[in-house]
Chains A and B, each alone.
Chain A
């Protein structure tokens, strides 16, 4: 029961964050599709670390589906799903080396890059052409920056949570 409540709170939080980041039109700075801060990734990271992979997957899928109902369509849905799921898989994989090899920031960068790769791969499948992969040249550069930003936010959040120290036991 507690898990369901956490999941639904996190889904609405992720949706709110992706709405809020539309107020920071990064794509006016870099006019490419798929350019965004990726604040919702903080939620995915939190879910992955504190609720486990299953919850993170559920939150990610539902966030994409609901998000595309509010703003977007079937193309937007397939793009966001392919990006978000690939990002989640990569981050779950990198998390195995958390502490020893990677920090939250590194995992976040990996997720941001995977998100873009997943999106471009889907776009390429829709277009039936590989020329869209040219977008990745700039998208990956931006992913490093946005990955550091969202990773820093997540990292700060985790540190606060570790300090207060109650959450991990409560959910698990």
Chain B
């Protein structure tokens, strides 16, 4: 396996793109988090996960039905009747920048940081 100079350039470019995106999306690494639930590019629900005291579940309709459960500090797709189940497999979201998407239902959950202080670079590796 002989890598050429250009190969390293490609690898560097791909890693740099990944790092740039993580800078854009991760934002603050604050422990206080809000979950933003969007459908069709409209915010349909905002939940302050850090203020949550007990689990909350709610379902979202559309082309398919998704059941979302929010607990103190975390949120996930609990159940969905969409064909690919990618949203459910994504599991819990806990940190700012993390996202779970149900593409068939055009539904997404994204975690945002509440406080604007302490912007730190943080690559999400699940």
Interface residues of A (CB under 8 A from B): 27-28, 30-33, 73, 75-76, 79, 94, 97, 100-103, 105-106, 109-110, 113, 123, 126-129, 131-138, 140-141, 143-144, 152, 155
The residues of B that contact A133 with a CB separation of less than 8 Å are 21, 25
B5, B90, B101: which has the most chain A beta carbons within 10 Å? B101
Q: Which residue of A lies closest to B1 (CB)?
A: A152
Whether the pair B101, A138 counts as a contact (CB closer than 8 A) is no
The residues of B that contact A33 with a CB separation of less than 8 Å are 84, 86, 101, 103
Whether the pair B7, A105 counts as a contact (CB closer than 8 A) is yes
Whether the pair A101, B101 counts as a contact (CB closer than 8 A) is no
Q: Does B56 contact A (CB under 8 A)?
A: no
The residues of A that contact B97 with a CB separation of less than 8 Å are 134, 137
Interface residues of B (CB under 8 A from A): 1-11, 14-15, 17-18, 21-22, 25-26, 38, 40-41, 83-84, 86, 89-91, 97-99, 101, 103-104, 106, 108, 110, 123-126
Whether the pair A132, B99 counts as a contact (CB closer than 8 A) is yes
A27 to chain B, nearest CB (A): 7
Whether the pair A102, B7 counts as a contact (CB closer than 8 A) is yes
B97 to chain A, nearest CB (A): 6
Whether the pair B99, A105 counts as a contact (CB closer than 8 A) is no
Knowing A128-B106, A134-B99, A137-B124, say if A103 contacts B7 (CB, 8 Å). Answer: yes
Q: Which residue of A lies closest to B107 (CB)?
A: A127
Compute how far the CA of A138 lies from the CA of B52 in the bound complex, rounded to whole angstroms: 29
The residues of B that contact A75 with a CB separation of less than 8 Å are 103-104
* Known contacts A109-B11, A141-B15, A143-B14; 19 further A-B pairs (Cβ under 8 A): A31-B90, A32-B86, A32-B126, A94-B10, A102-B10, A105-B1, A105-B3, A106-B10, A113-B14, A123-B103, A126-B106, A127-B40, A129-B108, A135-B99, A137-B97, A140-B14, A144-B14, A152-B1, A155-B1
